[in-house]
Amino acid sequence: MNPLKYALNKNPIIVSLTEPDDLERALATDSNIIILIQADICTLEDTVKRIKQTDKLIFVHMDLIKGLKRDASGIQFLADKIGIDGIVTTHSNLIQTAKQLGLLTIQRVFILDTASIKQGIKSIKTSQPDGVEILPGIAVPHIQKHVKPVIKQLIIAAGLINTQEEIRYILQNGAQGVSSSSLEVWLAASEM
């Protein structure tokens, strides 16, 4: 079974870590996946080493990383030297590179209107990521009928999700995971 799917089956909450000071809180959650948002190349190795002491999967958001070029060499450095499990990005070409290096991939898609849904589906079909992170996450139940029938990837909702009721609704209506930088949502991981 795909490690991303396995981790989401165990617990559908993904920690999106934006503040280094929240690392210990993130490690204490029942979440099985941590996405490093706005990671800094200067502290990344230590952060990944700390996370590696757990069973959590480690993803780096390539579009927001500080101090590393968003290209094949940057991804290879993260895979070989830092030891991440996967990447998150909006860029199809980075998804392809990461897959060639054996990394898990999550493609981030912003849904603003019908045209963006069509463009997102086209991009997903081209890049074939392991998972698709849809923003805003609260839109997932409403667009699920457009996306789920035409793609096979795991659907992760992110953005504007603040309550346990919203999490439950999203998970019951098309998403396999919920990604958040909110401590309150992380705490919901232990109650899912």
**pLDDT (0 to 100) of residue 58:** 98
State phi, psi for 176 to the nearest 5 degrees. -100, -10
How far apart, in whole angstroms, are the C-alpha atoms of residue 107 and residue 172? 22
Q: What is the mean pLDDT of each run of 10 residues along the chain (192 residues)?
A: 94 94 94 95 95 96 94 96 97 96 97 90 95 93 80 94 90 93 78 62
Sign of CA dihedral 136, 152, 56, 37: negative
Report the C-alpha gap between 166 and 13 in whole angstroms.
Answer: 12
| Under 8 Å between Cβ of 64 and 37 | yes
Q: How far apart are CA 131 and CA 184, in angstroms?
A: 24
Element (H, E) at 64: none
For the chain, the domain total comes to: 1
Residue 116: give its domain's CATH number: 3.20.20.70
Give the predicted TM-score (pTM) of the model.
0.95
The whole-angstrom separation of Cα 154 and Cα 131 is 4
As a whole number of Å, the CA-based R_g of the chain is: 15
Q: Hey, how many other C-beta atoms are within 10 angstroms of the C-beta on 54?
A: 15
What is the rounded CA–CA span in Å between residue 58 and residue 92? Answer: 20
Res 192: pLDDT: 58
* Residue ranges making up the domain that contains 170: 3-191
